[in-house]
């Protein structure tokens, strides 16, 4: 029996607050597609407001996958995500629908589209605990410095504030004895996909970020953090290392004024968006679309053309298989 075809795949990526989720929902409804999240924070249950997670009402409009997968104190690796995303895509293909891979976590997108051969390194709980304790005492820069000593090239490519990813990188390098670049070059056959990336002028994007931070606080972000800590979750957990959560933890503990925390969150998120641009600009497959009144129309037209061509290509492949 011939292996099943992958579903027609559309990647929707871009920096934070660029409108990826909203556009993806429009495209999913227009083309009867299902959405697969490629966001490293949306996998955690209970981190809803501060991750701008799609609401239950939005998720009811079209099937969503890879959201609310694990609790915040459970480990979750890129390899775990890759396996779950592969399974989700296989199910979508079986249902005869297109798939939208949506998110701003480039390594998650790469793991799926480029079928990265991820290093088979088992978690090392003692090392993780030591590095998490280091992050709690001295902050993410101390963990980043540790990675820079072990693997300068990996550190140059890493998000210096993503403690979870930094710890995993150190774990892999120490266990394998090889730099991440050497391990990461191993890839399977690339999944055919249309790669859409959203963008906006920096002042516009920063205004959108600031407005979203204000909206999330008004929607109960601080109460969400209070609830997570009340559950006994360790603030040093990788899931709580995201910009915003760590600042609001300090507010709850009485170590930081809310107004100062808001300023830090906004500036930190601006910096995160700049780092996302740095990562995304490396990918020549991306077709950039600027936010504006014509975005929905141009995106729908582009996806329609892609799906029409993909359907023709799939038909040709099926004919070739039948002749074999």
pLDDT at 176 over 80: no
Return the CATH number of the domain spanning residue range 9-116+187-323. Answer: 3.40.50.300
Instruction: Compute the mean pLDDT over every residue in the chain, rounded to the nearest whole number.
Output: 89
102: pLDDT confidence band, cut at 50, 70 and 90? very high
CB atoms within 10 A of CB 3: 5
Q: What is the pLDDT of residue 2?
A: 39
Q: What is the pLDDT of residue 118?
A: 77
Q: What is the pLDDT of residue 184?
A: 55
Residue 45, exposed/middle/buried by CB under 10 A (0-12, 13-18, 19+)? middle
Q: What mean pLDDT comes out for the span 51-73?
A: 96
Of residues 296 and 242, the one with the higher pLDDT is 296
- Look at 121-135, 189-203, 220-234, 276-290 and tell me which has the smallest mean pLDDT: 121-135
80: pLDDT confidence band, cut at 50, 70 and 90? very high
Determine the Cα–Cα distance for residues 160 and 115; give it in Å rounded to an integer: 25
Q: What is the pLDDT of residue 237?
A: 85
Domain with CATH 1.10.20.140 in the chain: 125-184
Q: How many CA atoms lie within 13 A of 40 on its CB side?
A: 25
User: What is the per-residue pLDDT across 267-321, written as a single tens digit (0 to 9) for each?
Assistant: 999 999 999 999 899 999 999 999 999 999 999 999 999 999 886 655 434 443 4
Q: Is 201 left (phi over 0), alpha (psi -120 to 50) or beta?
A: beta
229: pLDDT confidence band, cut at 50, 70 and 90? very high
Residue 19 sits at the vertex; the CA angle it makes with 17 and 23, to the nearest 5 degrees, is 165
Q: DSSP string of 275-305? A: HHHHHHTT-TT-EEEE-STTHHHHHHHHHHH
CATH 1.10.20.140 fits 125-184, yes or no: yes
Of residues 179 and 62, the one with the higher pLDDT is 62
**Are 282 and 90 spatial neighbours (Cβ–Cβ below 8 Å)?**
no
Q: What is the pLDDT of residue 185?
A: 52
Of residues 236 and 219, the one with the higher pLDDT is 219
Q: What is the pLDDT of residue 140?
A: 85
Domain with CATH 3.40.50.300 in the chain: 9-116+187-323
């Amino acid at each position: 029996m011939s292996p099943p075809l992958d579903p027609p795949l559309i990647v929707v990526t871009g920096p934070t607050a660029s409108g990826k989720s909203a556009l993806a929902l429009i495209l999913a409804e227009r083309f009867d597609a299902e959405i697969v999240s490629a966001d490293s924070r949306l996998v955690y249950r209970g981190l809803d407001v501060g991750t701008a997670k799609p609401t239950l009402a939005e998720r009811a409009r079209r099937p969503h996958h890879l959201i609310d997968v694990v609790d915040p104190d459970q480990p979750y690796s890129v390899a775990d995500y890759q396996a779950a995303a592969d399974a989700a895509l296989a199910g979508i293909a079986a249902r005869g629908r297109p798939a939208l891979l949506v998110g701003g976590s480039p390594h998650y997108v790469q793991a799926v589209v480029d079928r990265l051969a991820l290093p088979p390194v088992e978690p090392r709980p003692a090392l993780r605990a030591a590095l998490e304790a280091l992050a709690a005492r001295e902050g993410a820069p101390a963990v980043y410095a540790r990675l820079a000593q072990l693997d300068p090239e990996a550190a140059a490519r890493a998000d210096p504030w993503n403690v979870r990813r930094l710890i995993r990188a150190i774990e892999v390098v120490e266990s394998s004895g090889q730099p991440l670049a050497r391990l990461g070059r191993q890839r399977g056959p690339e999944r055919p996909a249309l790669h859409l990336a959203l963008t906006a002028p920096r002042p516009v994007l920063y205004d959108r970020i600031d407005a979203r931070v204000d909206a999330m606080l008004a929607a109960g972000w601080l109460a969400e953090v209070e609830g997570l800590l009340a559950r006994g979750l360790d603030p040093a957990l990788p899931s709580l290392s995201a910009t915003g959560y760590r600042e609001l933890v300090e507010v709850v503990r009485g170590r930081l004024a809310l107004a100062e925390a808001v300023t830090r969150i906004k500036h930190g998120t601006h910096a995160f968006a700049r780092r996302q641009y740095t990562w995304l600009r490396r990918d020549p497959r991306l077709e950039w679309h600027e936010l504006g009144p014509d975005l929905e129309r141009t995106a729908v037209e582009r996806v329609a053309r892609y799906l029409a061509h993909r359907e023709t290509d799939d038909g040709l492949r099926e004919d070739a298989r039948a002749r074999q």
